[in-house]
């Protein structure tokens, strides 16, 4: 199963990357290296970056918890 190493996953392994595309769009990508899970979202230029980052991080944490439950 893809989540075999899920119990060893720690929140410190989450990488957050901010990308800027050629058309000016900014993407926020969260990746967890041990499981390979990733979540990416285009940012809204009218909202503060920190608020969007916190929202996406909460969603990603929830996703990881759900995947952990499914793996056990």
- Contact status, residue 38 vs residue 61, Cβ threshold 8 Å: no
Q: What is the pLDDT of residue 42?
A: 96
Q: What is the pLDDT of residue 71?
A: 78
* Cα 33 to Cα 10, 17, 24, 58, distances in angstroms: 10, 13, 27, 17
Q: What is the pLDDT of residue 11?
A: 60
Tell whether pTM > 0.75. Answer: no
- 5-56 per-position pLDDT tens digit: 444 445 678 899 999 999 999 999 999 888 788 999 999 999 999 999 999 9
d(CA 32, CA 52): 18
Instruction: Give Cβ neighbours of residue 21 (< 8 Å, ≥ 6 apart).
Output: 27
């Amino acid at each position: 199963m893809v989540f075999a190493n899920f119990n060893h996953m720690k929140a410190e392994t989450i990488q957050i990357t901010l990308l800027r595309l050629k058309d000016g769009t900014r993407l926020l990508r969260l990746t967890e290296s041990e499981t390979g899970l990733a979540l990416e979202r285009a940012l809204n230029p009218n909202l503060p970056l920190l608020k969007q980052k916190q929202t996406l991080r909460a969603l990603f944490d929830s996703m990881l918890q759900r995947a952990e439950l499914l793996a056990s």
